[in-house]
Amino acid sequence: MIAISFDPIVTSGNVPVKVNETQGAGFGDILQESIAAVNEKAHEASVLSEGLVSGQHSNIHETMIAMEESSISFRMLAKAQSKIIDAYKELMRLQL
């Protein structure tokens, strides 16, 4: 007996593309990008504050803005972590 698969294929220009393939980034990719962005903001705030303390620059406004952006993004990431954990716990309570 021969098994035949009928995956729908759509041509995009000269390259065939399967329709059932997922397009875009997954949840894990988005989460990793968000963590990297928060880390970058924290590093930027650290560099600016060290530069202000060492006298390399005297722009306190830019330093304070960077520190506040870092703080806000970290708090938002912590809230997202809390929501993800709550959702996981809720899923674990479901009975199948």
Cα within 13 Å of Cα(21), Cβ side: 8
What confidence category does residue 95 fall into, taking pLDDT thresholds of 50, 70 and 90? confident
What confidence category does residue 16 fall into, taking pLDDT thresholds of 50, 70 and 90? low
The C-alpha angle 52, 61, 34, rounded to 5 degrees, equals: 90
Q: pLDDT tens across 24-83, in order?
A: 778 889 989 999 999 999 999 999 999 999 999 889 999 999 999 999 999 999 999 999
- Of residues 22 and 46, the one with the higher pLDDT is 46
pLDDT the model gives residue 5: 44
- Of residues 5 and 18, the one with the higher pLDDT is 18
- Give the whole-angstrom CA distance, residue 96 versus residue 92: 10
The ranges assigned to domains in the chain are: 24-93
